[in-house]
Structure 1
Amino acid sequence: MARYAIGDIQGCYSELRSLLSLIQFNPDSDKVYLVGDLVNRGLQSLEVLRLAKSFYPAIEVVLGNHDLHLLACWAGVSSVKELDTLDSILNAADVDDLLHWLRKQPLMIELMDCYICHAGINPTISMDESLRIAESCNEKLSSDQFHQWLQIMYGNTPATWDAGLTAESEFRFGVNSFTRMRMLDRLALEFKFKGDIANSPGPLIPWYMVESDAAKRIVFGHWSTLGLMVNQQFASLDTGCIWGGQLTALCLDDGHLYQVPSEHDCQCIFE
């Protein structure tokens, strides 16, 4: 048995199939974790979703911001944007089956040696609190009231944690931390900067540079301009496949990296 984490796919189905072939994925014995943003920007998001669902639980996923946007469009609480490539899913005969499955997927997975999430784990709160918030968010999105919660998730506030937050504010804070976070501004969530950290204005600081009580490696994606970063504490796996980079898999057991080149040739749009 081998365990792998794969970075942001964003509808790059052909590359995903090539990467699964490269790692010789065996659904009877192996485990693959997709770090969110399965869909959008690429032209084969529907195929990616169908593949992920068909191999579940040999393939597990955490939700990313693009996955949540898809769910919101399906639920009628948001609309498709100009650059979105979600119509093939929304018009598919099996859309309800796929998206009822998707909305029940977690924001964070805890393994014996790492945590897996899309954007990161907010370092300003304890890991126990993060696990509780992630579970609470998952319960809300899995409930019959998921339409209401998808509508509530929009907005940039609160930017900081407070134990007295309402359920609605806590949900938005959790979703934003797990799926949108890159930079912190004096420990508050900041969403405007999406570029190379070498060009970031002060006092912004990457979330992973703030001390936390995380005792395991955090595996994440979301930040294509950060690119590949693998060390004992963190593994950043969004290598910009949709923007002409690579699709990356990290073997969680031995640390070996596997990559396949993008089949796209386009300039990066930081979203």
Structure 2
Amino acid sequence: MSCFVIGDIQGHLDPLPRLLAAAGADPRTDRFWFAGDLVNRGPRNADTLRFVRNLGEQAISVLGNHDFYLLAIACGAIPRGRDDTLSDVLDAPDREELIAWLRHRPLMHVEGEHALVHAGLLAPWTVRQARELAHEVEGALQGPHWVEFLTRLWGAKPTRWSDDLHGADRLRVIVNAMTRMRMCAPDGEMLLKHKGPIASAPAGALPWFKVPDRRSTTHTIVCGHWSALGYHDGDGVLAIDTGCVWGGALTAVCLETREIYRLKCEQAAAPSGWE
């Protein structure tokens, strides 16, 4: 049995079955970790949710920023933007089942020496603390007041962590770090506006994983989200968003061997046995 980690799909389902077949993955016995952002920008969002859901207990998918966006517009917590591609989910006959399934995905998963999260972890957090903080968000999202939680979630402030944070501010920092963060100031403040490569970041800015005294170095942090960074295996991080949504490739990595499998996103033929 192997465990394969897969980068951001964002509704571009077609390459996934072929990629997993090329990796020799077996949906009956192998395990699959998805780094979040299952939906948005691609054409097959509902099918992507069904595909991952149908893998059952073989699959773990953490929540990404686009997944939160879908949940928020589906329940009316925020107005819908003009450039999303989520109509196939919102108009699906099984819409409520898909939304309920997505709402019950974890924000972070920790197993052995690996921690799976969509974007990253703030420097003051240990992996154990981060997992506890993720549980706080999961409790709010899965609880009876989840619409109110999402209504108050949107925004970029506060931009730094404090143990004294509470309420919506506390949950917003956790979600922004784990689903939106790329760069930070040296003191750990999140710089959420920067989305490009490291070379174009503001002077003095650092990738979140290079902020001094980061306490999560006890584990390899597996993440996606940052397509401009691309594949990165170093600094205690395995980053695997290689820009499928932007015409790049979808990447899978076998955790046991670190063997890399990559498929250009126009290579979409799906083999029998997977879809």
TM-score by length of 1: 0.94
Q: Matched residue of 2:176: which SS?
A: helix
The answer to whether the Cα contact below 8 Å between 2:115 and 2:127 also exists between their aligned partners in 1 is no
Q: Where does residue 32 of structure 2 map in the other structure?
A: 32
- Give 1:268's aligned residue: none
For 1:1-271, what aligned pairs fall within 5 Å after superposition? Answer: 1-185=1-185, 186-210=187-211, 211-214=213-216, 215-231=218-234, 233-263=236-266
Cα deviation, residue 76, structure 1 = 0.5
Give the drift of 1:29. Answer: 1.1
Whole-angstrom CA distance in 2 between matches of 1:130 and 1:192: 23
Instruction: Measure the CA separation in 1 of the matches of 2:146 and 2:75.
Output: 8
Query: How far has the Cα of 1:168 moved from its partner?
Result: 1.6
**Displacement of 1:232 after TM fit?**
6.6
> Is this contact kept in 2: 1:37–1:64, CA < 8 A?
yes
- How big is the shift at 1:15? 0.8
Unpaired runs of 5+ residues, structure 1, are 265-271
Contact 1:3–1:252 (Cα < 8 Å) also in 2 = yes
- What CA RMSD, in Å, does the superposition of the two structures yield over aligned residues? 1.3
For 1:141-166, what per-residue CA distance to the aligned partner results, in whole angstroms no more than 9, with x for missing partners? 11111101111210111111111111
Contact 1:3 1:30 (C-alpha < 8 Å) held by counterparts = yes
Matched to 1:29, the amino acid is T
2:272 maps to none
User: Offset of 1:126 from its aligned partner?
Assistant: 2.9
Residue 122 of structure 2 contacts residue 188 of structure 2 at CA under 8 Å; is this kept in 1?
no
Q: Determine the C-alpha separation between the residues in 2 that align with 1:123 and 1:129.
A: 11
Contact 1:80 1:86 in 2 (8 A): no
Give the secondary-structure state (helix, strand or coil) at the position aligned to 2:80: coil
Letter in 2 for 1:62: V
- 1:105 to partner: Cα distance: 0.6
8 Å contact 1:133–1:170 — kept in the other structure? no
In 2, Cα distance between equivalents of 1:213 and 1:163: 15
Give a deviation string over 1:146-201, Cα, whole Å, max 9, x none: 10111121011111111111122111111001000011123111111111111211
Uncovered stretches (5+) of structure 2, i.e. residues with no partner: 268-275
